[in-house]
């Protein structure tokens, strides 16, 4: 029989999965989670999570946004 996790653990796992998927792009993580960026620190603290460090990437230029 499958173990059923408490909702808090399911949410924590989903948030962790989204952060891993976003690879440090916290704006993307917020869009996926459907939250405002200013709400992310509280959400992470509530679930005992820390944001994934963004990967080293070259600096973006305005031309990159097209």
pLDDT per position as a tens digit, 47-63: 999 876 666 655 555 56
Q: Is 4 helix (H, G, I), strand (E, B) or coil?
A: coil
**Rg, the chain, Cα only:** 15
The pLDDT value recorded for residue 55 is 62
Domain ranges of the chain: 7-48
Q: What angle is formed at CA 15 by the lines to CA 27 and CA 41, rounded to 5 degrees?
A: 55
Residue 39: the pLDDT is 95
Question: 64 burial class (0-12, 13-18, 19+ CB within 10 angstroms)?
Answer: exposed
In tens, the pLDDT along 1-46 reads 789 999 999 999 999 999 999 998 999 999 999 999 999 999 999 9
Question: Residue 65 above 90 pLDDT?
Answer: no
Q: What is the pLDDT of residue 54?
A: 62
């Amino acid at each position: 029989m499958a173990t059923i996790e408490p909702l808090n653990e399911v949410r924590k796992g989903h948030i962790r999965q989204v952060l891993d998927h976003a690879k440090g792009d916290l704006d993307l993580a917020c869009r996926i989670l459907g939250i405002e960026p200013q709400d992310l620190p509280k959400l992470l603290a509530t679930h005992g999570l820390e944001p994934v460090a963004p990967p080293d990437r070259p600096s973006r230029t305005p031309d990159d946004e097209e």
